Amino acid sequence: MRLDKFLASCGEYSRKDVKALLKGKRVTVDGAVFTDPGTHIEPEKNIIKLDGEKLEYKPFVYFMMNKPAGCITATEDSRERTVMEYVPEEFMHFSPFPVGRLDKDTEGLLIFTNDGQLAHKLLSPKKKVPKIYHALVEKTVTEKDIKAFREGIYIDEDGYTTLPGDLRVIEKGENPLCEVTVYEGKFHQVKRMFEKCGNRVLYLNRRKFAGIEIDEALPLGGVRELTGDEEAVLRSGDLSE
């Protein structure tokens, strides 16, 4: 691994900072000062110090985004804007990717990591990872709809019946606001579940994924690293509510 990449992966330094740290002769590898950003190091073997303090190697990154509408959940696309446009430069050297997908017009919580094993676990249908959405819908929600969500809804295009979910009206009105919990991530799942009930989703926002809640302080397009506790929730496999 390059020395500059290692320094950037420690979290607090931008590319520009890293250059300055090296130029300032503040970085040592196994006791010797190195100023060349391209110096090859082995993070698990070499001891890298900054101003005499040992730097810990951090191979993985975990962060959340409050996804705005108008971008697709992909790492690249030749035509459409992607969520990567909102990922700050300092995370890019980790090669992060989104865990799961939100539709182009869906907003809210999207988790990113470069930890493939964890992502695989979180996306496995067997794990039944809970996802909570707020859905603004066109028409009144009936007891029959709530029962249908609770029992699972047959989606005929797929010949598939969804796992039992949960539907709750949070705000009544001409266009009710609902909280929906589902345990899988089929294409357009929430929209299709409402469609099967003769209703239509006007706006969808994910509030919670795998026990992690959206940080209300994040503006749309905002990103922040997960806290140690949040990271532990994801890693522990304790995916209960």
- Using CB under 6 A as the binding rule, the residues of this chain from 99 to 118 that contact ligand URA are 102-103, 106
Binding test (CB under 6 A) with ligand URA, winner from 26, 188, 207, 224: 188
- When the beta carbons of 89 and 213 are compared against ligand URA, the nearer one is 213
The site that binds ligand URA (CB under 6 A) totals a number of residues, namely: 8
27 binds ligand URA (CB under 6 A): no
Of residues 51, 103, 158, 215, which has the active-site annotation? 103
| Cα separation, 11 vs 62, whole angstroms | 11
103 is catalytic: yes
Binding letters toward ligand URA, positions 53-92, x by CB under 6 A: ----------------------------------------
In the complex, the smallest distance separating the C-beta of residue 165 from ligand URA, rounded to whole angstroms, is 11
CA dihedral sign, ordered 150, 211, 194, 74:
negative
In the list 67, 121, 134, 191, the residue contacting ligand URA (rule: CB under 6 A) is 191
Q: Does 190 bind ligand URA (CB under 6 A)?
A: yes
Catalytically active residues are 103
Q: In the complex, which residues of this chain contact ligand URA (CB under 6 A)?
A: 102-103, 106, 188-191, 204
